[in-house]
Amino acid sequence: MASRERTTKKITITLPIEEAEAVERLAGSGQIESVSRYVSEAVAFRRAREDGLAVLQRRFGSPPDEAIAWARSLVARRLHSPDVPA
């Protein structure tokens, strides 16, 4: 029997109820292929973002604390107020 290389691994994750239900609605309406694919793409996006930030930090150094605080405040405001323009 030939061995097949495994390209995925099944894991269990825990999400806040609101997030889990939102992803399930997307899958149920056909807006996304599957919950697994959506989560996989989110993880890949996050990893690429972190890799890109690491390159920038190596090249230009760390941003000033004031810039980090400003960026965090924008993200927090966006996360807590979906009506705020991006």
What is the predicted pLDDT for the residue at 16? 95
Residue 85 has a pLDDT of 53
Q: pTM for this structure?
A: 0.67
In contact, 75 and 64? CB cutoff 8 Å: no
Consecutive 10-residue runs of the chain (86 residues): their mean pLDDT?
78 95 97 96 96 95 93 88 55
